[in-house]
Amino acid sequence: MVESVGELWGICYEKQYVYRAWFNKYVSKFSIYLTWLLLHTPITPNQVTIIELVLVILSSAFFIFGKLQYIFIGFLILQFTNLLDCVDGEIARYRKKSSLVGAHLENIYHQLISYLMFFPLAFGIFLYTSWKSVLIFGFLCSIFSKSIIIPNMFTTIIESRLRNNNPIKNLKRKNIKTKTSDINLQGTDTGKRLSELYDKFKDFWAAPTNIVHLTIISIIELVNQHYEFMPSYILFYWYLVVYSIVIIMIQITSFVVHYKGRAAEQYYKSLFGEK
């Protein structure tokens, strides 16, 4: 027997800390009802995430057509995947089925949004406007909208650890007591301050907020299609321009901070107690 929606909310959110971007704090007020319905079925959190992946691919197909109505539908689909992104976490917490496989699928979903939203959108705009530069900005947004530096640092640390002759033995060393929350991932105090500043900023810039921005723009563009108070697709174009410039600056700053702070070495040493 599944508890009431109010009780379900308490189980999924109030009894444990769950990080949510500001927009998802509102989305979760609706997702909890869908979660309640799905809990009456055998569907698993991972199956919900797989549905999200399929829908992201479907949304990109709508973007590629380039017609404003199709673009709007594509963003409605992405909005629904964001709601499902809350649902899979709620089901996992309720059924206590959180797993590394689920986390991996979640990361794939967030990565796919970057790849399959910006460039397909830019390509669709190009088909209707012939603006070649929009392809460049769409490509830059697709490549750089997700952090490159930190995931690659984690990959480097993992690969380095796996190359160790006896990783299991070394993981049992008594001097490995550091909590990851105590580690300065950026390597310097300046880098840490910049990271904290970005953490406050990204909730209003990164996914899912950028999906909200572009959904609003698609609505304005649809209205403009009838009243013609500006050139069609111009808001999409300038959003991609500004977004690509900002994210490139962020990536460059991240590279300099982590490189100068020798963050990978410090993180590895903090985790495993050795160089």
Residue 214 is which amino acid?
L
Write down the pLDDT at residue 274.
Answer: 62
Whole-number Å distance between alpha carbons of 213 and 209? 6
What SS3 string covers 22-41? HHHHHHHHHHHHHHHHHCCC
Contact between 191 and 184 under an 8 Å Cβ cutoff? The reply is yes
Give the model's pLDDT for residue 41.
94
d(CA 275, CA 265): 7
CB 234 within 8 A of CB 120: no
Place of tokens 């209707």: 128
In this prediction, residue 164 carries a pLDDT of 66
d(CA 54, CA 232): 29
**What single-letter amino acid sits at 151?**
P
The answer to whether 205 touches 141, Cβ cutoff 8 Å, is: no
* Distance, CA of 106 to CA of 100 (rounded, Å): 10
pLDDT at position 173, please?
A: 47
Flag whether the pTM goes above 0.75: yes
Two structure tokens written together for 79: 């909005």
Res 187: pLDDT: 60
- Mean pLDDT, each 10-residue run in order, the chain (275 residues): 87 75 85 95 95 97 96 97 94 87 89 93 97 97 88 80 57 47 61 72 82 96 94 97 94 85 78 67
